[in-house]
Each structure stands twice: as C-alpha cells, then as structure tokens.
Structure 1
C-alpha cells in the first residue's frame, strides 16, 4: 500500500493505518503515489469502469476490485463550444461514486470494525452503496435538512444514518469526533486522498474520449474541492507523462451565498480570508452540496486554480434555478448543486476554445429548485 503524507508538516503514515488526518496539524493527507503513463491505445480492451486507468490509480495492482460499473459517463454538446459530462449517470446518481469506490476498496482491504462518512447527501449515498457492495458496516452523518430522497437512498443501502442538528460544518465536526474511535475507518471524501485519485478519472475519461487531449477550459463546482483537486491531479499526471501538450484552465464555481474560496481568490489570498474563530453560519443556498464555509483543502484549491491560469465565478440563486430549468428542457434533469457550472457558463462571457462542465447529481435526488 501507499503512504499518507501531510503537505504542511511532512508527517508520514502508512495507508494501512486508520489515521484519518495528520496527528500534528489535524489537516488532510496527501498520498505518496506516483502514477505511470496510461496507454490510450490499449484502453478499448479494458474493463468498462474507472479501473481501466490502472496505471494512474492506487490500489489497482490487486484484483478483483469492488465495482458497480462506475465511470465512463457520456459527453454531450450543449452549444457549439460547450459540452456537458453526465456524471449524474453513475450507479448512485452522482459523481461521488468515483471517489467512494476507492475508499470502499481500501476499507475492504483494511477490514475495520466500521466505516464512517459525513455528507450533505451524495457522498454519503455513494459510500453507503459501495460499503454494501463490499459487505462493510457503515454509518453516515448528515445535516438536518438533507434531502429526504438522499436519506432514503442511504438507508436503502443498509447504512445507519446519524442526523446532526445544524449545518454541514456541524456534521463534519461530529463525524471527525466519532472517527477518532478505535477500529473506525473514516471514509472522508475530504481528508482521505484516495478519494481525489478516484475523482481524477473524470479528466482521464475526457482525455480518452477526446482522442488524447483535454478541452481548453474545465469548469468545476467547488465546495470541498474534491472534483477540482482530482482534475488538477490528472492534468499534472497527463502533462508529466507527455500525454497532453498543454494544461486547461480550471474555472471554479461557488454559490454566491457561500463563496469563501471565491472571496479569497479575488482578494489575492493564499488561504481563506475572514475573521478568526469558527465560521459564521452559512446562508441558505439551493446548491447545498457546495455550501462549505471552511474547506480543509482551501490552500490547495486556490493554488490549483491559480496555477492553471483559471479563475473563480459565483452564481446567484436565480441563476441556479434558471440553469436547472434550462437543462431540464434540454432533456437533462440535474439537481441544483449539479447545475452550478452551467449557470456560471450561461452568465459569463464565453471563453475562447472548448469548455466542459460536469453535471454532478441527478434531479431525482432533490426535485426542482423552488421559486423565490
């Protein structure tokens, strides 16, 4: 197995341990893992899941792997220059399957007493499903106000739900306290870097489907930044191995109501700005999945966007509603969080070249956004 490393403290820990964060700074881990080049010409004969990119994935050297056939989602045009990747067409109806399968595969090998996750819904449903596939006991901490459909889905997979009073940040604090108990594997889509190595397959699929290249711009929703950081990992790997000759710009999107990273980026800060102490309660937003006031990987996210030559955009609640209806009338029923990128593209001047937006979660999970 690979080794965890703290990007701040340079503390190391074996991935076989159940140490979910750096013991010195309590920050998230990175993974000491070096990918090999993926041979595009041989991919057609491989399994039709994200495990086809074995050279780029930790945990890929041991077979068989847990799988529900995740990945390989369609890419469809929205305009002459903008396409959408339909990541809501995953087994649990969100892009979080990309990372959840990696966490469940690691947990399957470690055989902890129990698996614990925290989520506003989609990551929890994905972890619950893949733990069910692996035969692992699972508990998911969710904030009050989580979509009843998402709660129903988590419970249907056999996971125990713990509903935490308060917002997403209160839920994360409760889960981290429970994660310190002996024998618990914290399947955190934020703290465990295996999740990011799963989400990076989003970019590998684009590279494969576009004939060995990437679009000029990748627009990505950002709350905790797990998709954006995975994409940034993939871009650097593909470039380092000579599989692409240029890096696309990363455009990060947040809801205007909860946009700490956008504020820090436009202020020129390397970390989150704002007064010291715990974050203020978040304003309500339709994009609940990215309403994260204090993402633990904030510095990494800001650095990745700047290094790509990209930027941050924010979208209003009205723009989110309009984007959801617009996509539905194009035949694509997507949850409000999942339409944030399309809302941003529609509201801003068109960028030169080609652009891809992810549609991250199915509308059936939440229904249509209510009108104001």
Structure 2
C-alpha cells in the first residue's frame, strides 16, 4: 500500500480525497487537486553526499518515504551564462530531453506504489509530446502498462520516442483540448491511474526541484528573476511552491519575481493578467504557433497561475513567432539546440529591458525532438 500521509484537496470546493486513491479530480467541480503536504527544511551542507537525482531533496518531496524510488538520474541540469545578467538552466539535458521528467518521475513513483497495493491495471496520460514521452519512459522504468493520448499532428519524433518506451499510442483527431477530453474519459475507467501533469499535484512537487537546484547551484540564494514558459503552468506553479517553501523555512531572505511567458498567438493568461482579472472568463482562440507546447487556450489552474505571478511582483510577457524563430537560431549559434517552445523565455528576455540582478531562463526541450522551426510558416 501507499505509505504516505498526504491528502488531495480541491482549492475551490475544499473537498478532500486520500492520495492513494485513483480519484484524479475533484468530484464536485472536476477541477485539479492540490496536495496537503508540509515540506521540511533541506540542509544545504548535506546535499554534497546525497544521491545525484532530484530525490536528493527528500525533505521537500511527498513521496520520499520509501526506497528505492523510480529514477533515471533526472535533475541536476547545468546552469550556464548567456550574458552577464542572464543564465540558462539546461533542462533539455534530462533523460527524455525535456523538463517534464521532473514531474513524470513523481507520477510514476506514485503509480508504482498504487500498483503494489493492487487494483491499478494501467497508466493513462495525455500530452502534446514531451509529457507523454516522459510518462512513457518512467512507466517503462517502473514496469507499468502505459497508454498515451496525443493530438493529431504531434511531432513524429516524439511519437517514435513514446513507442520506443513501450507505451501504446492513441492519436486523437483535433487539438490539445480534444486529446485531454479523450484521456479523461479513459481515466474514469476502473483500475486506471491518470498521470495528468495538469490535474495531479505530485507533478508540481516534481517540477519545484527546478528551483531547489537553482538554490543549491547558487550557494543558498535564488536569482532575482525566474522566467518560465506557461501553458498549463506546471513549471511556474512548481517554482512558486519551491520559493514559498525555501522562504518559509528561512533558507532564502527574499522571493524572486516570477515572469511568465506565452506565445502571442495563444496567450489567455497574459491577457487576463494585464486586464487585472483573477481568472479566465473564456478560452482563447486556438491559433498556430511555433510554441505548441504552451498553446493552451483554457488552462485548468489559471487562477493559481495568475495569483502566483502577482504575489511575487512578476509579470506576463508574450513573444511573436519571429521572435521565437530568432531566439532558436541565436541559441543554436551559442551551441544550444532547443525546440521552439523551449526558447520562448529567451525570446522574451532578448526583447525586453533587463531586470535588475540575475535572471534565469529554462531551456525546456531538446531541438532534436522537433528540428529547426520554419522562419515564415506561422506568420500572420
């Protein structure tokens, strides 16, 4: 059985469910869960002798109560300077070549423990590519049966990677939202664990290790500004969790500003933020964009994302297709081949006035997954 004291809770309805249940959403509003979990302080001095994966931050992780854990050695990605004031964290050097490994390892570990208790027959995930490849890889590592739902038009290289890990693919006609609906229907079947990087909060507790690594790499301090791409907001919300934990435990003196980046073509959160809204009133129209991984018209955690950015004194930025293409070429000429979604933050930083102090951007996915973006296909 799952050995954990954590509990799911709905931030809207205050409904609760045990974290060892297969209930993937709030039964009242069908919204995503939060996790009732209290982290403990991480000792910076002790980290030098710990395991070389994100499990090194065991005091901060809700599933670090048993060993061994599912792992592929994820985390500990390099932090390299791009300019005197901007550094990039190379999360495209993860085992499956994207930052989604941070959350996928947590979901696979949870599913492994659920399977040990009986009643779990398969894992289901939906993705535009990177989350699906990560879930497929970590389910393979854990010996779990996995089905990944992807939208029609997903990169062939990502489909090949998912199949190579042994997962079964279900290609859904239509867009990303249609794919999510199909996966949710499958997730309601008995014995199914929905490894949703959006709805399951364990994923966010995996992505928060991004900021714990920055804190460790920088010797116990955080950057002045943390820039993150936002579609469903899984990296941003994980970053916000880590910042609050580190600050709350007295491990940092100040909170960095969170700056969220969206593609101009699909930017519902940026529009809501600059309009002063607390949540989305309607989905954004779906338009083609090079940053397909963050082209989410109606993110389920919109309210949480907007609040997290405001509470840190951050803002939202948007980038055009030409800016994305130029940023990808610029990084490639610096020796870093990153997929087009993964360069959105660098595109935004290049186009805006520098903020005081150190800024860190993530390079989230490898260019080998999609190839070089076209220079004009997506122009209006």
TM-score (norm 1): 0.98
**Unmatched tracts of structure 2, length 5 or more:** none
The CA distance in 1 between the partners of 2:375 and 2:257, in whole Å, is 33
Q: Greater shift after overlay, 165-174 or 89-98? A: 165-174
Q: Partner residue of 1:215?
A: 223
Structure 1 segment 32-71 matched on structure 2, within 5 A: 32-71=36-75
d(CA) in 2 for partners of 1:215 and 1:273?
A: 33
Q: What SS is found at the alignment partner of 2:72?
A: coil
State the match for 2:103 in structure 1: 99
In structure 1, C-alpha distance between the alignment counterparts of 2:38 and 2:155, rounded to whole Å: 38
SS of the counterpart of 2:91? coil
Q: CA deviation at 1:224?
A: 0.1
Structure 2 counterparts to residues 327-366 of structure 1, below 5 A: 327-366=331-370
Distance in 1 separating the partners of 2:188 and 2:319: 37
Matches within 5 A, 1:1-372: 1=4, 2-111=6-115, 112-274=120-282, 279=283, 281-372=285-376
Q: Matches of 2:323 and 2:26 in 1, distance apart?
A: 39
What TM-score does the superposition give when structure 2 sets the normalisation length? 0.96
Contact 1:323 1:339 in 2 (8 A): yes
Q: Distance in 2 between matches of 1:281 and 1:137?
A: 35
The aligned length equals: 368
User: What is the alpha-carbon distance in structure 1 between the residues aligned to residue 272 and residue 38 of structure 2?
Assistant: 31
> 1:260–1:273: 8 Å Cα contact kept in structure 2?
no
Contact 2:267 2:284 in 1 (8 A): no
Question: Equivalent residue of 2:171, what SS?
Answer: strand
Contact 1:5 1:30 in 2 (8 A): yes
Deviations 1:212-267 (A, max 9, x none): 00000000000000000000000000000000000000000000000000000000
Shift of 1:273: 3.3
The 8 Å contact of residues 232 and 299 in structure 2, kept in 1 or not, is answered as: yes
C-alpha separation in 1, matches of 2:87 and 2:52: 22
Contact 2:284–2:298 (8 Å) recurs in 1: no
- TM superposition shift of 1:61: 1.2
SS in 2 for 1:223: coil
Q: Which moved more, 1:280-289 or 1:142-151?
A: 280-289
Q: Are the aligned partners of 1:167 and 1:281 in contact in 2 as well (CA < 8 Å)?
A: no
C-alpha contact 2:266 2:284 (8 A) present in aligned 1: no
Moved runs in structure 1, 4+ residues, more than 6 A?
Answer: none
- Once the 2 structures are TM-superposed, how far is the Cα of residue 51 of structure 1 from its aligned partner? 0.1
Distance in 1 of aligned mates of 2:175 and 2:29: 24
CA deviation map 1:315-345 (0-9, x unaligned) = 0000000000000000000000000000000
Deviation for aligned residue 1:75: 0.1
Paired with 1:19 and 1:12, the residues of 2 have a C-alpha distance of 10
What secondary structure does 1:265 align onto? helix
